[in-house]
Structure 1
Amino acid sequence: MSTSLTDTARRGDRPVFDNGVSAVPVRELTPTGKFTPGLPYELFGLAPCSPAIGAEISGVDLARPLTDELHQELHRALLEWKVLFFRDQRLTPIQHRDLARWWGTPEVHPFLPKADLPEVVRLSRGADSPAVENVWHSDASFETTPPMGSILRAVHVPDVGGDTLWADMAAAYDGLPEDVRTRLEGLCAVHDFTRSFGRRLGPDDLARMQQKYPAVAHPVVRTLPESGRRLIYVNRIFTQHIEGLSGQEGRELLEFLYDQARHPEYQCRLRWRADTVAFWDNRATQHYASGDYYPHTRVMERVTILGDRPQ
């Protein structure tokens, strides 16, 4: 590219903080499109965790079956705030899976270990299994139809540490300078599991899984069908390269886009307690599980909800 992306990022059409992040007004961070944001919530309490992303929900017992009305309000909150937090939720694996079914089909993850049900992944990290999720990423973007969302429950957490952070990739897209957004139009990036989950497989199993889950190209900027919001859709774990760009140019652009998730202005952070549940829109966010609790143990259970092909 003719000028550095760092310089370009400081010449946008909005005020810019000292770290180069555009000061996007909060009203621009609120989704617009096929649903109406900002309406009051009648069936639960909602406390935002930041201006852009994250909200704690009160007055909902997720162990009880939802009603259609409650599901619709929770879905609107998910679209508006990208990740929802629920405290003191004592869910069995069956209740966990059945909750996810309100939003779609729970996935049986092709690589991760399972709990009591095939749809419930168990993530146990500690002295014998150090954290590997401490990289900004979107779950399973290597799939042709990546997950719509993930519901994660804390089973056991350390006294200190083990927080998870989420970044709003729609707000990050809105904060890009106009010339960078124009540069991204029509670009696609290739996503693949080989450099992550593939490292744990022997040659035969790797070849079999590569045939089942071949590398796939997704738009660098995807659109959420419910809201029309555009967002950055590349991540450091699964994205390999941008189609049609030379190695150096593509790497430079990807590194710049990866780094957008690292800006606190686009983030929220959760300090876990046992029986806390986080439900995030996997299309619109990236997340980072801090590995600072080693050698103590952190045990989580997750159900992932199948999605559609990015457009």
Structure 2
Amino acid sequence: MTIRPVSTFVGAEILDVDLAGSLPEPTVDAIRRALFQHGVVFFRDQKLTPEQHVAFAQRFGEININRFFKAVDGHPMIAEVRKEPEQKGNIGGGWHTDHSYDQAPAMGSILYAREVPETGGDTLFASMYAAYDALSDGLKQTLETLRAVHSSRHVFGVESYEGRGDLKGRYLNPEAAQQDAVHPVVVRHPGSGR
């Protein structure tokens, strides 16, 4: 297995590993360490069944089932994130952290891109480690004492759902978006300590 950083601040590509197979624990530990160090890891050319997708995800902890996206048929632990070519709206178009609106946010997300467009359709990532490191010591000190409201209302709430006709039927439970969570502005990642 080879781990190759893809940028200065965020992301690494992991080569020569088949996620569909039975991975030994030392391999999973190395993947976990790479994830914590680089913030996001990429695996190219994987061919996973839904069962293999779930089995791989479970190696990292309990799966946080998405209550807003429809599940893949027959696989309630996998949320289907889809955008049709004619669809104008983009569900995750703004910068966000998946599931930060939950009282106990998920450790991370696994996105298995099965079909991607020839152009566009980009999923971008930013390093919160680098963002924090770039702050002045004074601002860091101020932020350490603050808490922030995390909400899903603007994306999944009733008003958003009703105002986005091209997304109707694509996600569920807009009424469940009324629950907000309050978290410290600065948190340390339990896996990296950063």
The answer to whether the superposition gives a TM-score over 0.5 is yes
1:185-226 deviation line (CA, Å, top 9, x unaligned): 21001112222201227xxx655x25xx62221000011123
Report Cα offsets for 1:157-182 as digits up to 9, x if no partner: 11122122100101110110111111
CA spacing shift, 1:185–1:107, aligned 2, 3 Å: closer
> Which structure would you say has the larger RCO, counting Cα contacts within 8 Å and 6 or more residues apart?
1
Matched to 1:60, the amino acid is: V
Q: Which protein shows a greater Rg?
A: 1
Matched, 1:191 2:156: no
1:276-302 deviation line (CA, Å, top 9, x unaligned): xxxxxxxxxxxxxxxxxxxxxxxxxxx
Percent identity over paired residues: 39
Amino acid at match of 1:52: F
Alpha-carbon distance in structure 2 between the residues aligned to 1:214 and 1:159: 37
Could you report, residue by residue, the CA deviation over 1:120-163 in whole angstroms, capped at 9, with x for unpaired residues? 11112124433222211001111001111111111111112212
Structure 2 residues not aligned, in runs of 5+: 163-172
Looking at secondary structure, tell me which structure has more strand per residue: 1
1:121 aligns with 2:79: yes
Cα root mean square deviation, aligned: 1.8
Query: TM-score normalized by structure 1?
Result: 0.55
- Tell me, in whole angstroms, the C-alpha distance in 2 between the residues paired with 1:96 and 1:80: 23
Moved over 6 A (4+): none
- Does the residue aligned with 1:149 lie in a helix, a strand or coil? coil
For 2:23, which of 66, 77, 85 is the aligned residue?
A: 66
> What TM-score do you get using the length of structure 2 for normalisation?
0.87
Alignment of 1:1-311 (within 5 A): 44-116=1-73, 117-130=75-88, 131-198=90-157, 199-200=160-161, 209=176, 214-229=179-194
- In 1: Cα distance, 2:87 partner to 2:79 partner: 15
Name the counterpart of 2:170.
none
Distance 1:77 1:206 in 2: 35
Output one character per residue of 1:32-53: Cα deviation in whole Å (capped at 9) or x when no partner.
xxxxxxxxxxxx1111111221
| Partner residue in 1 for 2:167 | none
Give the whole-Å Cα distance in 2 for the aligned partners of 1:82 and 1:63: 22
What is the CA–CA distance in structure 1 between the aligned matches of 2:137 and 2:29, rounded to whole Å?
A: 34
* 2:22 counterpart SS class: coil
Cα distance, 1:102 vs structure 2: 0.2
